[in-house]
Every structure is written in structure tokens, then in C-alpha cells.
């Protein structure tokens, strides 16, 4: 049964490493890396340097420093592979498998994967295993796929660990075993395998074979989304539309930082606002900053202070510190050293070093009566918060 998302060829190349010398050349060539200029790589590739040929193929495939050209990429990939460049052989198999720069040819893909496997390339086991799992160019054979995935997984390949985990999760070619799937996903996730991060996050959400941990689950799913795992991004988008404040906040962060999605401050502000209105402390703090700095919204100190105050009342140390700054500087509010000192005092009580320093500096500008007033306000605030928590 087809199990796996088609791997984008350029992305696969990243797993082979592009920053070190991979294969000794048959004669003395200049040492090159993927970071060398296109001119250097072309010159060396034309001299017969297999490393340069391989790196050049990845440049053309990814459009890095040169116009994207799959046919040119294939040409150099094949030349390097025929010289015996190990990773070029595996990537040539991928080109034939995906029809990248050449007509799709499963038999040629199998031939090059087998060549690379015989020479010790771990990842080639995974790609050949997927062909058996999907029945591409060979009779569908899940058991053979499992054997190939296991060879890669046992060698530390996150690709092999994830694919083997999926076989255990679904019971394809092996007895269904969710605990083993969990173990393999955890191993692959340590190497930031995006699909493994997502599957692991869903396991923590569902809580069927491991204790439910929503916060950890969302952290894993957001990490997957940052790596452009489509299911992870869809999960956030779907749940955000349904009003889940955690999904709204984390999707807002992705848009704010441009991680896994285009950077969009206005969309980030919209999502933070939705989560903040539901009481999400971190969204309130972030929204406050966006209003104060005019990021994604029109600058509005009053609105920024309002959201800082909402977050500060919930104990956000950052919001408390920022409120202190606003009152100390008179930004959006009249200067009020006692109010500023109170917020610095509260943030300092949470071990915020910047707040402690600000408190000490402000004290030099205040009278003893103002400091006493601020300390009284802070004490009363802490009592009110403690009562609210216990109710």
C-alpha cells in the first residue's frame, strides 16, 4: 500500500550533507564544498572533480546561486555517479524515481539504489524500501520494505526510523506495535525529522499509548510546522479556525517569525488577538508589544498597555517589566514612578534580572514615600492574585 509522501528531490539531497568532502577523486583535484561559487564548481566539474559535479547538481536542482534547471542537475548528477560518487548514485536513483530532469524510470532508480546500497549508503535502503512498499517497479512487498527500513534505522537514519515506525504503526509487513512505533518516532524526532515530530505530537495529544501532554504535543507539532511539515501546519490552521486558543497563538508565532509559512505580521496580530481575547497570557503579551511597536497594527500605546496589563495580571514577567518601562518613561500614560517601581518589583520577584536592575536605577530617582507606596501596591497585588488563584 502507498504509505509515504513523495519526497521532494531537492530536500532529500540535504540529508546527504553538502559541506564536506565526500568522495576521494581518482586524481588530485581542488577540495570543494557546496558553499563554493557556481563558477568554481563549474570549473572543477568540467575538470572531472566528482565532488564538484555532485555539488553542482544540487545547486541546479535547488536553484541555489543559479537558475533552477533539473536537466542540468541530472547531467552533472549522472556524471558524478558514473565516476563512483556515492551520494550522487543515490541522488541519481531519486532523479529516475521522481522524473527530475529525466524521464521517470523505476528500473534505473532501483539499479542505482542497489549500487549505492552495495557501497554502503544507508539512505538508499530507505528509498528502495519505499519502492517495495509502494509497488513501484517491483511487486509490492511490505516485508522486504520493512527489512530495508530496518537496515537504515539500525544505522541511525532518521528517514529509516520514521518509515519503519510507520510500518509498525499501521501493521504493514510487521505485526502492529504502537509502542515500537513510538520509540522509532522519538529517535527520528531527535534528528528533527518533520514527519516524526508530527506523528509523535499526535501521540501525545491522543494519549492512547503514552500519557496525554497537550503542551508538549503542541510544541512538537509547531516544531514540525516550522520545518514545513504540511500535516502540522494544517493541524494548526484547522484548530485555529475552530477557536482553539493554543492553536491560534502558535500559528500566530509561525506567521510572526515566518517559520514554515510566509511572514505576515497582520495575520500574526489577528491570531494573537483571537487567542488574547480568550485569555491566553502569551498572546496578550505579544499583542501588547505589537501595538506598542506598531508591528502588524497601527501603533497604539493605550491598546498596548491594555494588553500588557491583561498579561501582567496573569503573572507574565515580560509584561510586568514592559509595563514598568511604560510608566517610567511616560509612554501612553503619565509618568508614575511608584507604578513603574511596583511592576519592576513584581517582575523582579520572579527573578527577572532586567527588572531588578531597573528597580534599583529607578529607586535613585524616588523618595522614600514613593518607594513605600510602590511596595504597598505590590504587596496588595500579590495578595489579590493569591486569593484569585485559590478561589
* pLDDT (tens digit per residue) in 46-75: 999 999 999 999 999 999 999 999 999 999
Q: Which residues lie below 8 Å from residue 204, measured CB to CB, with a gap of 6+?
A: 210, 212, 213, 214, 216, 217, 220
For the residues 93-115, what does the mean pLDDT come to? 97
Residue 389 has pLDDT above 80, yes or no: no
**Distances from the Cα of 149 to the Cαs of 48, 60, 144, 153, 206, in angstroms?**
34, 29, 9, 6, 26
Average pLDDT, the chain: 91
**DSSP secondary-structure letter at 64?**
S
User: CA 67, CA 143: separation in Å to the nearest integer?
Assistant: 42
For the residues 267-276, what does the mean pLDDT come to? 98
The residue assigned the cell 552533472 is 76
User: CA 22, CA 41: separation in Å to the nearest integer?
Assistant: 15
368-391 CB burial, b ≥16 within 10 A, e <16: eebbebbeebbeebeeeeeeeeee
Is residue 384 very low, low, confident or very high in pLDDT (cuts 50, 70, 90)?
confident
User: CA 19, CA 35: separation in Å to the nearest integer?
Assistant: 7
Residue 12 has pLDDT above 50, yes or no: no
pLDDT, tens only, 196-218:
999 999 999 999 999 999 999 99
Residue 2 has pLDDT above 50, yes or no: no
State percent of the chain over pLDDT 90: 88
Q: If we measure between CA atoms, which residue out of 245, 246, 268 comes closest to residue 256? A: 268
For the residues 315-335, what does the mean pLDDT come to? 95
Q: What pLDDT was estimated at residue 32?
A: 86
Q: What cell does 326 get?
A: 511604560
Pair 338, 380: CB distance under 8 Å: no
For the residues 13-38, what does the mean pLDDT come to? 59
**Distances from the Cα of 151 to the Cαs of 51, 87, 117, 174, in angstroms?**
26, 17, 10, 15
Domain 1-140 CATH superfamily:
Tetratricopeptide repeat domain (1.25.40.10)
For the residues 107-125, what does the mean pLDDT come to? 97
Q: Please tell me the pTM assigned to this model.
A: 0.83
For the residues 21-43, what does the mean pLDDT come to? 73
For the residues 92-110, what does the mean pLDDT come to? 97
342 burial via Cβ count (<10 Å: 0-12, 13-18, 19+): buried
Q: If we measure between CA atoms, which residue out of 351, 343, 331, 355 comes closest to residue 382? A: 343
User: CA 53, CA 57: separation in Å to the nearest integer?
Assistant: 6
Q: What cell does 171 get?
A: 501493521
Q: What pLDDT was estimated at residue 391?
A: 61
Q: How many helices (H) and strands (E) does the chain have?
A: 21, 0
Q: Which residues lie below 8 Å from residue 350, measured CB to CB, with a gap of 6+?
A: 315, 317, 320
User: CA 129, CA 135: separation in Å to the nearest integer?
Assistant: 10
Amino acid at each position: 500500500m502507498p504509505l509515504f509522501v513523495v519526497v521532494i528531490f531537492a530536500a532529500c539531497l540535504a540529508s546527504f550533507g553538502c559541506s564536506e568532502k565526500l568522495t576521494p577523486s581518482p586524481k588530485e583535484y581542488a577540495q570543494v564544498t557546496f558553499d563554493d561559487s557556481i563558477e568554481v564548481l563549474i570549473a572543477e566539474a568540467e575538470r572531472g572533480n566528482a565532488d564538484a559535479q555532485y555539488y553542482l547538481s544540487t545547486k541546479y536542482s535547488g536553484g541555489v546561486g543559479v537558475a533552477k534547471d533539473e536537466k542540468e542537475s541530472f547531467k552533472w548528477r549522472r556524471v558524478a555517479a558514473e565516476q563512483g560518487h556515492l551520494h550522487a548514485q543515490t541522488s541519481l536513483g531519486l532523479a529516475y524515481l521522481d522524473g527530475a530532469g529525466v524521464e521517470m524510470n523505476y528500473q534505473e532508480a532501483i539499479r542505482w539504489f542497489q549500487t549505492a546500497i552495495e557501497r554502503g549508503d544507508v539512505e538508499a535502503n530507505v528509498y528502495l524500501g519505499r519502492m517495495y512498499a509502494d509497488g513501484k517497479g517491483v511487486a509490492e512487498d511490505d516485508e522486504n520494505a520493512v527489512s530495508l527500513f530496518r537496515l537504515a534505522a539500525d544505522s541511525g537514519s532518521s528517514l529509516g526510523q520514521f518509515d519503519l515506525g510507520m510500518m509498525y504503526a499501521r501493521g504493514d509487513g510487521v505485526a502492529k506495535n504502537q509502542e515500537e512505533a513510538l520509540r522509532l518516532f522519538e529517535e527520528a524526532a531527535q534528528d528533527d525529522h518533520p514527519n516524526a515530530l508530527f506523528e509523535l505530537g499526535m501521540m501525545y495529544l491522543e494519549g492512547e499509548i503514552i500519557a496525554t501532554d497537550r503542551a508538549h504535543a503542541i510544541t512538537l507539532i509547531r516544531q514540525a510546522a516550522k520545518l514545513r511539515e504540511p500535516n502540522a501546519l494544517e493541524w494548526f490552521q484547522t484548530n485555529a479556525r475552530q477557536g482553539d486558543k493554543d492553536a491560534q497563538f502558535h500559528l500566530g508565532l509561525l506567521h510572526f517569525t515566518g517559520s514554515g509559512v510566509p511572514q505576515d505580521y497582520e495575520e500574526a496580530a489577528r491570531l494573537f488577538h483571537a487567542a488574547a481575547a480568550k485569555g491566553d497570557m502569551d498572546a496578550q503579551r505579544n499583542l501588547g508589544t505589537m501595538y506598542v511597536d506598531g508591528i502588524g497594527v497601527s501603533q497604539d500605546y493605550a491598546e498596548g498597555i491594555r494588553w500588557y496589563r491583561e498579561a501582567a495580571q496573569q503573572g507574565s514577567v515580560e509584561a510586568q517589566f514592559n509595563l514598568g518601562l511604560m510608566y517610567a518613561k511616560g509612554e501612553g500614560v503619565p509618568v508614575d514612578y511608584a507604578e513603574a517601581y511596583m511592576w519592576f518589583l513584581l517582575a523582579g520577584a520572579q527573578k527577572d534580572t532586567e527588572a531588578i536592575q531597573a528597580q534599583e536605577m529607578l529607586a535613585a530617582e524616588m523618595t522614600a514615600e514613593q518607594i513605600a507606596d510602590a511596595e504597598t501596591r505590590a504587596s496588595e497585588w500579590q495578595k489579590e492574585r493569591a486569593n484569585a488563584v485559590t478561589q
